[in-house]
Structure 1
């Protein structure tokens, strides 16, 4: 491990606790000059490291540089973590890593995605350092796991993590978009890797993108009124590292007993489309009706205007605005 990483790890263990340059040097067996150079390099990378003559150096708890040590120390279960400044998409990078990593779950994060992807082939706006862009790779999938529930479980995990760290009350738009104050702040893209030999899902890539803040000057015009930022207008200061570890912890808590479907109660409580009139297209035909329920497979039960019942297992829905609401 480099000197810079050793110094960072020491400061990360107890954020807001000051360490003198001499204490760091003595514990790591390096010179004070080496400590100073490491601190300078970390500041250049964006870490907020405060210093004073009397108390020494300390890492601000609100430093928001993606860091594997910071994420790892808050995880309930160990996980291999890889961080990139820029990737085309974290899901695409995860697929490439699957060629190298044959066993064990792992996590990919990036400051920026140049070709971030959403559901149904859409792009996901992913400017540098304004969002949490990550992909959790689940390997050795138990046969008891229903792959169709993985996405709905992730939506619940994201909501619970946000509620744990902030005063925000997120809601879910079926299937897997997270909204705050009527604007989308998170999207989830789940992809399964099929074993040709066994014809079963051998790996699942769970891509999660959360808008933490908004770079309003660079938002595409068509998205200005549609997307929001988790921390916009919030007093709470939450780092991407904190949110990443909270989401992962919450997800594994659900995943370990996903076959019980208990988490669907939490999903239904937050699913704001229930009871609303919706429109959607299926097999090139347009339909409208009332969203009545979410079934035990995560499907949306719709009572059509023709009074027939239809269950949607995937796709895009729109909430129909009442006349006079614009």
Structure 2
């Protein structure tokens, strides 16, 4: 680990106090000149460090430090954090790690994805520094039907985390999108790694992408927006991870009511694709298993357990 990284990590851990150059030099067995160069390099990188004569150095509170150590600091359970400045996809990387034998609870986080993935083969736009892209991996070793509710848990975790650290009340678009002010700010992609011999889910890969300050989206991406609030990315990631860790170990009944209360669909006119054609309906309710109950135009009732729905514009 470079001296610059060691100094930054130390200042992050002591962000409520000044640390002298002499103390840093002794801590890392370096000269004060080397510490000074590390501080200057961090400042050149955009890290806001206050330097006060006879007091030392202190991280200013407006910093948005985004790295593995800063995320790990606020995680309240045993979890390995693997951080990348840029990667193709955190879900893809998590599955590579599982293939290589990883069997612990871990979190893959990136400041940018170059090939972010969404549901049904869609891409998830993941520009650098304006969002958080994370994948949480657990190993439930449970029957597949018992793992399906994890996507519901992920939606609830994201909403609770946002409510905890901002004044925003998000809404959920069944089954896996989080909306603010009628626009999508978060997508969730849950993938199961199955043991074919035992027919159980050995690992669940929960991918979450949240737009924080993204302003411009490529052509073809409709109804997308961002939180547009001043929030530290590391704090948001750790808050989501803490909530998600609790929820995936809880009964479905503990959070389905919250999911229902935050639904943006109940009573709305929607359509979904059935047998290759648009099928028009009204969203009626979310049942105890998280499925969407709808009423078709001919008056028949149907329960949707998967798929993509679209709210019809009024």
Does the pair score TM above 0.5? yes
Question: Which residue does 1:280 correspond to in 2?
Answer: 272
Alignment RMSD (CA, Å): 1.9
What's the secondary structure of 2:85's corresponding residue? strand
The answer to whether the 8 Å contact 2:137/2:203 transfers is yes
Within the alignment, does 1:299 sit opposite 2:291 as a pair?
yes
The answer to whether the 8 Å contact 1:66/1:83 transfers is no
What's the secondary structure of 2:264's corresponding residue? coil
Question: Which residue does 2:213 correspond to in 1?
Answer: 213
What's the secondary structure of 2:310's corresponding residue? strand
Distance 1:173 1:142 in 2: 27
Within the alignment, does 1:73 sit opposite 2:65 as a pair?
no
What's the secondary structure of 2:294's corresponding residue? strand
Q: Which runs of 5+ in 1 are unaligned?
A: none
Distance 1:291 1:196 in 2: 36
Correspondence for 2:234 among 241, 244, 259: 241
Question: Which residue does 1:262 correspond to in 2?
Answer: 254
| Number of residue equivalences | 314
What's the secondary structure of 1:86's corresponding residue? coil
Q: Which runs of 5+ in 2 are unaligned?
A: none
Within the alignment, does 1:271 sit opposite 2:263 as a pair?
yes
The answer to whether the 8 Å contact 2:268/2:283 transfers is yes
Deviation beyond 4 Å, 4+ runs, structure 1? 142-145
Mark the CA change 1:291 to 1:222 in structure 2 (over 3 Å): closer, same or farther.
Answer: same
Q: State the shift of 1:3 in Å.
A: 2.8
Question: Which residue does 1:204 correspond to in 2?
Answer: 204
User: What TM-score, normalized by structure 1, do the two folds share?
Assistant: 0.90
Q: State the shift of 1:144 in Å.
A: 9.6
Distance 1:141 1:226 in 2: 37
Question: Which residue does 2:30 correspond to in 1?
Answer: 30
Question: Which residue does 1:228 correspond to in 2?
Answer: 225
Q: State the shift of 1:63 in Å.
A: 2.2
Within the alignment, does 1:168 sit opposite 2:168 as a pair?
yes
Distance 2:40 2:136 in 1: 32
**Residues 230-253 of structure 1, C-alpha deviation per residue, up to 9 Å, x if partnerless?**
1x2x3xx31110000000001112
Q: State the shift of 1:47 in Å.
A: 2.6
Range with greater deviation from structure 2 (179-188 or 36-45):
36-45
Range with greater deviation from structure 2 (54-63 or 76-85):
54-63
The answer to whether the 8 Å contact 1:139/1:203 transfers is yes
Distance 1:44 1:300 in 2: 52
What's the secondary structure of 1:39's corresponding residue? helix
Distance 1:156 1:283 in 2: 31
Distance 1:227 1:102 in 2: 34
Mark the CA change 1:27 to 1:124 in structure 2 (over 3 Å): closer, same or farther.
Answer: same
The answer to whether the 8 Å contact 2:79/2:105 transfers is yes
**Residues 100-130 of structure 1, C-alpha deviation per residue, up to 9 Å, x if partnerless?**
2432111111121111111111111111111
Mark the CA change 1:114 to 1:178 in structure 2 (over 3 Å): closer, same or farther.
Answer: same
Distance 2:65 2:101 in 1: 26
Question: Which residue does 1:184 correspond to in 2?
Answer: 184
Distance 2:138 2:121 in 1: 22
Distance 2:14 2:297 in 1: 59
